[in-house]
Amino acid sequence: MSGRSESDRLKQESLLMRLVRRPEAGAFFVMVVVIVLVTIASNGNAINPLGIKNNLAIIAQFGIIATGAALLMIAGEFDLSIGSMIGFAGMSMAMMLKWGLPFGLGEATPASAFFITLAMTLSLGWLIGTIVVRSGLSSFIVTLAFLFGLRGTTEVAFRLINQSTQISGLPDFKQEYFFARIFGGESFGWFYDLWFALGGNLNRRDEQWVTGLDVRVVWWILIVLLAYIVLNRTQMGNWIFATGDNKESARANGVPVNKVKIGLFMFTAFCATIFAACQVFDTNTADAAKGNLKELEAIAIAVVGGTLMTGGFGSVIGVVFGAVTFGLVANAVFYIPWIDGSWYRVFVGVVLLAAVFANERIRKRITGGI
């Protein structure tokens, strides 16, 4: 009996150690601490109906772009053009919705504006990836060039066309077009309906004042599920890990390294376009300055989620934990009045530095200290 108990104890310890060594373990711990602290400091306001909706809206935005950034980082590359791509995509959709399709092709609908913009952003993602793999230049430098170039081109072009880098006052397309609602509408209304029907306090007594979550939460879930399945259940996932671990060895074993990297640059462009579409159809506005610094936040979330800067190691689930953490802290100023909003940047810096040290220890443990 004693031997069996000792064996069970060793098995439990082994399971615990395996969980601790998971790339997302640290991100999960930080997320739990942040949830508890924000809930207590806000007197529960962060988890009231409006708090849940607003927090999940910010978390989903972070999660959408961070998922794309994480997969690319696992493959050993960076994309600093994500934020500029968001600004370009948003202004492109808004311009077509305001002035019509290019070349005088008629009035734009939400669907046509979105798919034309998506074709352009995917083309830009393909171009960035092609330059990186064909030139051999660092993706950091190439995408940094596109960060400045695409942002500047967007501002100059739309200032010439629209006499402004902002577009506001667009019709509320959600009222007429289903396609607009799938980006700017609400979701999970049944959750609030059920809670209210059961007498829960998620809504004001006798008045249901929050009717659902932003639909971008659904997009976040779909993108996370897609990324998780690809990374952990498909050959493409093996190729991504192999490319980031050692691209020359991967190429020697038949992995189409260049196609993998180009495809992932296109995926980050796709995520940026979804991000922009949710903003445009939710607020009926666009601004060329949108997405500023989002590329850095996306990379920071990926790192905090357990993605190694050197590539070859990472977790989509860890990125989810990182997005929740960053979203709650970014939104905390609205629920905790005595907190200066600048503390968010301090938090990002401290957590990012701690995550880099932790991830480096993980890398050395995996590689045997190499």
Span 175-207, pLDDT tens digits: 999 999 999 999 888 877 776 666 555 555 545
Tracing tokens 């051999």 back to the chain, one arrives at 136
Structure tokens at 62: 């972070």
pLDDT, mean over the chain: 86
Tens digit of each residue's pLDDT (9 = 90 or more) over 219-257? 999 999 999 999 999 999 999 999 999 999 999 999 999
CA-to-CA distance for 114 and 24, rounded, in angstroms? 34
CA-to-CA distance for 91 and 56, rounded, in angstroms? 24
In order of start, what are the domains of the chain with their CATH numbers?
A: 64-185+217-367 (1.10.3470)
Half-sphere exposure of 73 (CA within 13 A, CB side): 27
SS3 category, 41: helix
The pLDDT score that the predictor gives to residue 111 is 96
Secondary structure letter of residue 334 according to DSSP = G
Phi-psi sector, 185: left (phi>0), alpha (psi -120 to 50), beta = beta
CA-to-CA distance for 154 and 149, rounded, in angstroms? 8
Count of CB atoms within 10 A of residue 166's CB? 15
The pLDDT score that the predictor gives to residue 88 is 96
Going by C-alpha positions, the residue among 315, 284, 288, 289 that lies closest to residue 302 is 315
